[in-house]
Amino acid sequence: MPFFNNENISIAAMACAVPDNLVTVDSFSNAFGQEVTERFTDGTGIKQMYKALPEQTAGDIAYAAAENLMEHYPVDKDKIGALILVTQSPDYRRPATACVLQKRLGLSKDCAVMDIGLGCSGFVYGLQVAGSLMASSDMEYAMLLIGETASKLVNPQDKSIVMMYGDAGAAVLLKRESGNNIKTLLRSDGSKYEAIVLPAGGFRDMNPSHEIFMCSDGNERSLYDIFMDGTAVFSFSINEIPVAIKDYLEVVGKNIEEFDVIALHQANRFILKQITKRIKAKTEKVPLSLDRYGNTGGISIPLTLCDKYGSTDEEVIKVLASGFGIGLSWGVTSFEIDTTNIYPVILTSDYYAEGKFMPGEY
């Protein structure tokens, strides 16, 4: 199995941001009826989420998280040797949004930057990539950013997911620190790539018709809207993730009781309950944030930690984390972090006005 061990690397700090635009599930009752919205909340556990303002991008929200982190954690920007952004909602098709964020954050030219196009597994995959870059270099810090505005890619009449996706951004600062290791297991199954897909706009099919058609699940969409096979995703989540977690624990020689918190991707409440039961974890160790933030993709793991620990007293916690979803892709990792350096979730309405321009105009 792809199992990685990044030695002498730790997570120094973590911060998250959400758009200053609260949307409740109940507000959809005019469109879908109260029975539909109540049934949705009962099934998923989601009561509200934050959706990006029209001008806001994934880069904007991730930037707000990064700025908040650096305001609290006094890191020398010249010592940040890598900036990685995990997103499937980039600001542009080209260049990588990470390049824009390097400029906005004022990072040195001696900083490697890149985007990673992953969704719900993005925190685990991104953490591994950032850790690997550090492990094979002399850099002292690396910044992992995750941003998503999936709500902009959903048909507003799609009652299966329009009430599910929330938008958010996260910033995670990695630091070289002797004696701290981050061990990670990564897996994927591309044979099921159609389970969560947005067909139009890429180079396979750049400009298809915007015609609305009826899908097999009874929801109307165009090729420019996200489609999710809920049954396939549910089956994958409750079967593959417990196996991966058990395999991970076997390799690292630990049991589930040794961790203070089990941070799972916030897919929906029923999936989390099934995974918790199958890995035999205590319910109180598996925090939920989806009731207030919805499914925020790759941000959901750090968002859950910031939501739970952002205002707590100093404490070093042992975290087991698992992200899973689109691709299909999934992973498991673990780390220790001082809760003093986990900051409360902030609201942001800011956006990068200079980012919308005509090429050649200066």
Q: Which residues are catalytic?
A: 120, 265, 295
Quote the longest CA-to-CA distance of the chain.
59
DSSP character string of 45-114: ---EEE---TT--HHHHHHHHHHHHHHHS---GGGEEEEEEE-SS-S-SSS-HHHHHHHHHT--SS-EEE
Neighbours of 356 (CB within 10 A): 10
Type of residue numbered 189: D
Two tokens at 184?
């990670």
> Is residue 328 reached through a cis peptide bond, with omega within 30 degrees of 0 on the bond before it?
yes
In the block, tokens 């964020």 appear at: 101
Cα–Cα dist 255/242, whole Å: 13
Cα–Cα dist 113/179, whole Å: 27
Residue 219 CA: distances (Å) to CA of 94, 157, 197, 205: 32, 8, 15, 22
Q: Which helix (H) or strand (E) holds 315?
A: none
Contact 1, 326 (CB under 8 A): no
Strand partners, 333: 184, 321
Neighbours of 161 (CB within 10 A): 24
Residue 275 CA: distances (Å) to CA of 130, 169, 333, 352: 27, 25, 16, 39
